[in-house]
Each structure stands twice: as C-alpha cells, then as structure tokens.
Structure 1
Amino acid sequence: MHLERPTRDTVTTIRSDGSRSFLYPADTKGRFTRWRRGSALALIAFYLALPWVKINGYPAAFLDIADRRFHLFGLTLAAQDMWLLFFVITGVGFTLFFVTALLGRIWCGWACPHTVFLDHVYRRIERWIDGDALKRRALHAAPLSAGKIVRRVVKHTLYVLVSAAIMHLFLAYFVSLPEVWSMMRTAPSEHWGAFGFMAVSTGILYFNFGWFREQLCIVICPYGRLQSVLIDDHTMAIGYDSQRGEPRGRAGTTRGDCVDCARCVQVCPTGIDIRQGLQMECIGCTACIDACDDVMRRLNRPTGLVRYDSPAGFAGQKTRWLRPRTLLYMLLLLVGAAVATWAISTVKPASFGVTRMVGTPYIVDDAAVRNQFMVRIVNKRNVPATFRVSVDGAPAGSRSLGLGDPVVLGPMEEAVRPLILMQERATYTGPFRFSVRMDDAERTFQLEREVRFLGPEARLLRAEEEEHRARR
C-alpha cells in the first residue's frame, strides 16, 4: 500500500488530493515508552480513584452543582467562594507557560487526557482486535468481508462501552457515585436530563476516540499554535540531529547515521517526519526517540540521533535554562501561588450574607424607622454547627428583631432568617452604617458584613413631625 511521505507544506493527515489519511502508528519499545505508559496508568488510576476516595466525609473531587457545594481534596467551597477559580485558571495557565518554555509540549505527550486515553486505552483495544500497524493498515484497505465486519463490530462495541464507562465516572464528579448507581438502576424517564447528557457525551467521546483522534490536536486544540510564541531556541523539545544524520544513507556506507528507514514516521501518532524540524503537529510523545534508538542499536551506532534537546543544543551550543522568558513565567507563577495560598487561607467553614428585602428600602411609621434584611448562613462543614448573629455599631436606642436565638445548622445545611433593625422616631439620627456579625459557637472564627441603614434625613423627619404637630 503506497504511503505518502509527510511534508511541512500541509497537515500531515491530509493527502495531496484533500482526502483524510488515517494513521496506524506502529508500536515502540524503549525507556520513554515504559515511562510514558507508567505515567499514563498512574493518571488513569488517579482519575478513576477521585470519586471513590473520601476526604473529610466527601469524595476527593465532588462538584455538587445542585447544592452549590464544591469539595476539592478536603476543602469545601460554596458558590460565594467561586472567585477562587480565578487563581486556579491563572495558575494552570502560568504553569503551562512555564513548563512549555522549559520542556516544550511535554503536557501534550505525557499528561493530556486526550493523549492518555487515546494511546493507552483506545489504541490498545485497536491493537488487540486488529493487530499491529501493518495488519491494521491492510485491514483498512481490504474489501468488506465477514471477518472485517466482525472485527469492526467488536472493536467499536468496546469503544462505546469504554466511552460510556468514562462518562459515567465523569458524571460522578458532579452527582456522586451512589447517585450515578441509583440512576443506572432506574428507568431513563425518571432522569431525562442526566440520561440525555450521558447519551450525547458518550457519543461525542466515541466519535473523538473512534474516528476524529489526532485531528483534535491538529485542528481544534489551540495549544499547538501557541507553542510558537512560548518556546525559543533554548526550549527542550524532541528533534533530529541533522549534523550527525545528514546526508542520509544506507547501513554500511560512509554517509550520515540516518538510514532513511522512516521508522520515526511510522510510529508517530500525528504522522509527521521529525527530521523536517519542530512542527505544530508534534505532541512530544517520544515515540520517535525510542524507534530511532532501537534502529541505531541494531546498527551498532550511538543512540540519540532523535532526542530531547534544544535547537541551540542541536546547533552545538549550550542550552540556557534561566533566561528572561522562563524567569518571567516563574515569577508570575510564584506570585500567583502566594496570592492563591493567602486567598485559600481566608476561606471559612461557613458563609454569611446580608441582603435587603425586596420592596421599599425603609419603612417609616408612627413609632420608628425600620429596615428589613435577610440573613443567609451556610454551614460548609460535614458536622453540625451553631452560629450567633449580632448587630454592632447601630446608634443608641436601636433595636433588632429576629436571630436573637442561636442558629443550629446540620452538615452542609443553610438557613435564611429575617433581620429587622428599628430606630425610634424620637431618637432617629438618620442614615448610618452598622455591621452584622456572625460568631461560631466554638469561637473559631467570625464573619462580618457592613450594611447601610436607609431612611430620611433626620432634619427632614424632625421638620415633618413639627409640621404634623402644628396641624393638630
């Protein structure tokens, strides 16, 4: 079967006539393959374990959107704490920038969920059913037959089952494993929303890993296009030593070490030729390193013709690790980590809010001027807690109604209570600010909210009273 050699002039998975070129990367053996497989299995185990492992009574990662509670490795956040996501997102961004500036696209090849599941789950299934790269390529080109149909049905059935299993576990991150199991044992009509989500998401996952595959990295993911602005001549990346390998020749000649066997192309999951230089499609998976090292060992030549190195290193220069780009990214990362640590330390095991009741902002009657508020208390702990609410800073003669007794809340429970603050007309002093304070019964922390008491200006109220008395 004729295979077109990849070029830098077009996307590697598109032939010269515009048709899709399906890739069947060959297996590799070597140290990087072993290390990458071990790290992938560890990442998959980590992903599978999070909904099962409990910390402080809740799964290690449980994003309870229905109750607006987010449990992350023992830390419980309410909806009011979601501003902390800013630090998570920016921290991930700066970490990615820093790692990319140092080590290139190591994230794509070693830790990206798409690569991990495609190379170490779905392609494992494909190799098990259809055989090695030559057999898979021959099967693809072969006419339709009973054997081919059976293999396709078995393979794609396994793809669907694995996709469904992954998405059910993903759903557990949001509704918990017991709830997922309960949904699985009941009719879909009892939870159409979750059933629809599972059907659509499983279909998308199956389409991606069963057919779209490397196109996600090449066509959709923006990271490959960003690498050109994140890397420089001192960034470690996978490359080809052209000074040693060129001119290419066959074994036993006096030409360069590269024998043009194209083994590096055959094992590449995105179909590029690494000898043409760093390209957008390269995900840094190291398959070409192990493949080339294996060929070099067979020819009794030094390994490392394809290796991790910087463009400066390939040119015979010294790689500089500390440079303005990496120092800037490191500084931003450290500042962000420090601010995030401080922000997380301010998170309390309860949240507390005071809002004004809908309607007239204040009420004036014959006896007093009143402001009415709603106080919302959320216990974010997994044990019962008792809270006391008090009003501080109000002028003398002011009275508060509601929340005179302690508020007892169960685990993850919330309560909304009215709070009315009144000031006698005779001693009314006009708009002022006061604070509503919530104390934990164990005196472990306090939360305070400043509120403005609204009402007419005192002189206007006095003038109104004098005019009313004069009319009498």
Structure 2
Amino acid sequence: ILIAIYIALPWIPINGSPALFFDVEQRRFHVFGLTLVPQDLWVMFFGVTGLGFTLFFVTALLGRLWCGWACPYTVFLDHVFRRIERWTEGDAVARRRLDGAPWSAAKIARRGTKHLLYAICSTLIAHVFLSYFVSIPRLYDHMHEGPLAHATSFGIVAFLTLTLWFCFGWFREQFCVIMCPYGRLQSALTDDDTVNVGYDEKRGEPRGAKGKAAGDCIDCRRCVSVCPTGIDIRNGLQMECIGCAACIDACDDIMTKIGRPKGLVRYDSLNGLIGKKRRFIRPRVIAYTLLGALGLIAFTIAGWRQARPFTADFTRMRGQPFYTDATAVRNHYQVRFYNKRNQPARFTLHLSSAPEGYTLSGADTPIEVPPRGEITRPAIVVAPTAAYHGATDLGIEIHAEPGGVVLRHEMRFLGPEPSNSQP
C-alpha cells in the first residue's frame, strides 16, 4: 500500500494539479489541492514544523516506527529488492551457499538476473522521484525525445539510478546507520517509557542450551543472523536498530519450536522490560503533541487563507522613492500577478482609497495572465501638486476574473514636504 501511495501521488489530480508536485521550473508547489507560489512558502513552514513534531511524537511514543515500517527507503528495500533477491537466489541459507560456490553459468545467471532486475527497479524509482518535480506529460515527452534533448533530466535519472542501485544492492541498511541522521536524533527524543524492540533480560538470562537450568534464551543467535544491521538486540537498545521486528519474528519462531512462551524479544519500553509500569502520557509526549497540532492547525488555516486562485504582489520600484515636477508627484510601483488556475485570468486595478485627484496609470487597463502564469507590470500613482498634502496611505483593489476575486493592498505614497512641493 505504501509503495502504491508513493508512486501514485504525482498521478492523482486534485483541483487540476497532482496531489503532491514541486514544479521548480515554474516555481509552483502543489500540496493536496493547495497551490503555493514563492510568496506563499511561509505557509510551508507551519506544515513542515507540524509534520516534524508529529514525527517527534511518534518517536517518543513508539521509537523508530517510521524507520522500520514507513520510510520509503525501508519500504522499497524490504518489499521490492529483498523479494527480488529471495526470488533469484533463494533464502539466506541458499544465498550463503551461492556466495561460497565457484563461479559457474548457473551462478552468473542468478546474479545477472538479480542485478538486471535491480537496475530496472532503480530506473523506475528514479523516474517516480523525478515525477514529483517534472509533470507526468513532460516526463513522458522527455523519455521519448532522447537524453540529449533533456540532458538535465537524463542526468538526474542516471545519477539516481546508479545511487539507488548501489544503496539497495549493496549499501542497504548502512545508509540508515551511517548517512541518515534520524538514528542519532532518536536518543534525544526517547526515554525509558518509549516502546522499542527490546530483549527481556530477566527472562532470558543466563543463556544456555535447551534442557539446562538457564533462562529462556538458548543463545541460538537467530536474532543476530536476521538483523539487517547486524546488531545483537540482547546487548540493549542501539542506534543501529531500525525497529523492523525481524529479530522478534525469529525469536518467536524459536520459542514456539522449543515450547516456551513468545515475547522474549518484543516491542516494549525499558521500564516495561524490567517490570515497571509503562507510561504513555508524559511531558515530552504532551509537548510534541501540542507543538505538532499547533503547526498543522496553523498550516491549515494559513493554507486556506492563501488558497486563492489568484495572488498579486505590489512593491515599490528600485531607485528614487518618488519623482516630482511642477505639476505632480509620482510614485512608481511594480505589480506581479500570479494565476494559479488552469485557465486564463484577467486582472484590473484601481485606487479604492486615495485623496481626491490621485490617479493610477500603467496597470489601470485589464491585464491578461496565461494559465498558471505570472506577469509583471509597472504602475504609477500620480498626485497633482494641488492635491498633494504630504505622504499618505493608499488603498488598491485588484479585481480578478473569472470568479470575482478581490485582492486588497495598502501602499504608502511618498513625496516631499508639502511646502516644498508647491510651484
């Protein structure tokens, strides 16, 4: 299901745009029906903050649940590449036997088939990743027009393909241990009540073979052999543990075979493993919950307010703040219109609040903006010398069609001291 979600997000249309799409070239960011332009990126701060503290909350409560069960890297590694490996080379015992066998036609065929499938899957995943930044129709065109016509896209896909092939084919969980900072961050987010994969030392020690007067652990080392990062969970919680539960399944299988209760290795907190009461509600969990909820609520409210199909920025032009002559005082502005819709839009400006005699020129006629486009136009506010009585605030309304959307801006009209502006 997670693989389907990761692949399908750029294909699912919401309000005429992909569910999740970062159009870097056009400077448009589409997030589940919300279209953001660069001026709206402050909204993303709240979304990223909310998601970040939500991850902190999950980590404080359930440890590295994200790493073991939802991280795209782990999902593709376990459910795509490991399955290919098992299909082409067999289980762990068969793979070890194949590793020790001399090179033969059968071994070359198995290894060649595995890496061919690895290369195909890596290429597909690279294209899926690129589809988050290049629209599906354009990506399709890039694929059919050849690499020289779109060298940048081809280079990105080639680099990602080789990187994924290397990581999934050889580097694997070492990426999580060496390169991903989340494992190191975990130590600052968890405490003795956080649920992690743990070994029940009270029940398992002392270790010994079955039939001897010892604990339940028979020291078969199955938990070590199945661990993708090669750690011994019996040595306690370690940074390398990604919470995949492979050691739990292996240990439970052994316990079933020797007629002992399951759960020698299980999901539990450090307090739970030593027999203490486990607390789910505690200060850090409450803090992460409140901060995460605050960020997501702020993102929802800010996103809803910024989800207008049209936006416009009104800024003062560089250079002199105002120009004067014997007849008038002039302020030069720059207006940038953004059309977030898939159809043309028309913008009209006028002064909604200004002293008598003030006029707007340059952008007072209707301005056509193409679908999902932007246009910049100059605008000049002119104040006749007789009507000018000093700096003042102006109200500007921008009417956008279709839809009758009204955008309002306030600008400061600057000029000389009134006594100096008279002829």
TM-score band w.r.t. shorter chain: over 0.9
In the alignment, structure 1 residue 175 sits paired with structure 2 residue 134 = yes
Residue 67 in structure 1 maps to residue 26 in structure 2: yes
* 1:55 equivalenced with 2:10 (yes/no): no
With structure 2 as the length reference, what TM-score do the two structures score?
0.94
Q: Residue 387 of structure 1 corresponds to which residue in structure 2? A: 347
| Aligned equivalent of 1:419 | 379
| CA-CA distance at 1:445 after TM superposition | 4.4
1:222-268 per-position Cα deviation (integer Å, ceiling 9, x unaligned): 11112222111111111111111111222233321111111111111
Aligned: 1:400 with 2:360: yes
**1:276-324 deviation per Cα after TM superposition (whole angstroms, max 9, x unaligned):** 1111110000111111111111122111111111111111111011111
2: CA distance, partners of 1:361 / 1:323: 56
Tell me the distance in 1 between the aligned counterparts of 2:42 and 2:407. 18
Q: Deviations over 1:140-159 (max 9, x none)?
A: 33444443333332222221
Asked whether the equivalents of residues 353 and 376 of structure 1 are also in contact (C-alpha less than 8 Å), the reply is yes
Kindly indicate whether the alpha-carbon contact (under 8 Å) linking 2:204 and 2:216 is maintained by their aligned counterparts in 1: yes
> What's 2:73 paired with?
114
Residue 117 to residue 358, structure 1, CA distance change in 2 (3 Å): same
Deviation of 1:408 after TM superposition, in Å, equals: 4.4
The aligned residue for residue 5 of structure 1 is none
Aligned mate of 2:268, from 288, 301, 309: 309
Give the letter aligned to residue 414 of structure 2.
Answer: L
Offset of 1:433 from its aligned partner?
2.2
Separation of aligned partners in 1, 2:296 and 2:21: 23
Taking the aligned partners of 2:237 and 2:356, their CA distance within structure 1 comes to 75
Post-superposition Cα deviations, 1:45-95, rounded to whole Å, max 9, x if no partner, equal: 001111222122222122111111112221111121111221122122211
Aligned runs of 1:231-270 on 2, under 5 Å?
A: 231-270=190-229
Deviates more, 1:114-123 or 1:435-444: 435-444
Secondary structure of 1:332's counterpart equals: helix
Q: Which moved further from structure 2: 351-360 or 341-350?
A: 351-360
Q: Does 1:102 align with 2:70?
A: no
Return the letter of the residue paired with 2:255.
M
Aligned residues: 422
Show the 5 A alignment for 1:8-407.
Answer: 42-347=1-306, 348-407=308-367
TM-score by length of 1: 0.85
- Tell me if structure 2 keeps the 8 A contact 1:76–1:381: no
Matched, 1:446 2:409: no
Partners of 2:50 and 2:294 within 8 A in 1: no
Which stretch of the first structure deviates more once superposed, 415-424 or 356-365? 356-365
Percentage of pairs with the same residue: 54
Q: Aligned to 1:327, what secondary structure does the other structure show?
A: helix
AA of the residue aligned to 2:333: F
Q: Tell me how far apart the structure 2 counterparts of residues 307 and 79 of structure 1 sit (CA, whole Å).
A: 47
Q: Does the 8 A contact of 1:400 with 1:422 survive in 2?
A: yes
Gaps of 5+ in 1: 1-41, 466-472
Q: Which residue of 2 aligns with 1:27?
A: none
Q: Does structure 1 retain, via aligned residues, the 8 Å contact 2:351–2:359?
A: no
Q: In 1, are the aligned partners of 2:44 and 2:299 still within 8 Å (CA)?
A: no
Contact 2:47/2:295 (<8 A) preserved: no
- Look up the SS of the partner of 1:346 in the other structure: helix
Look up the match of 1:432.
Answer: 392
Q: Distance in 1 between matches of 2:123 and 2:374?
A: 35
Where 1:128 maps in the other structure, the secondary structure is helix
SS at match of 2:133: helix
CA distance in 1 between counterparts of 2:96 and 2:395 reads 73
Are 2:420 and 1:460 equivalent residues in the alignment?
Answer: yes
Unaligned 5+ residue runs, structure 2? Answer: none
Q: Is the 8 A contact 2:346 2:368 kept in 1?
A: yes
What one-letter code is carried by the residue in structure 2 that aligns with 1:403? Answer: A
Quick one: which amino acid aligns to residue 170 of structure 2?
W
**8 Å CA contact retained: 1:80, 1:351:** no
* Contact 1:56–1:382 (Cα < 8 Å) also in 2: no
**1:380, 1:120 → 2: CA distance?**
38
Q: Which amino acid aligns with 1:82?
A: L
Could you list the per-position Cα deviations for residues 319-373 of structure 1 after superposition, in whole angstroms to 9, with x for gaps in the alignment?
Answer: 0111111111112122222222221121122111112334443222332121222
Structure 1 CA distance for aligned equivalents of residues 69 and 403 of structure 2 = 48
Letter in 1 for 2:334: M
1:384 positional shift: 4.1
Partners of 2:36 and 2:410 lie apart in 1 by 22
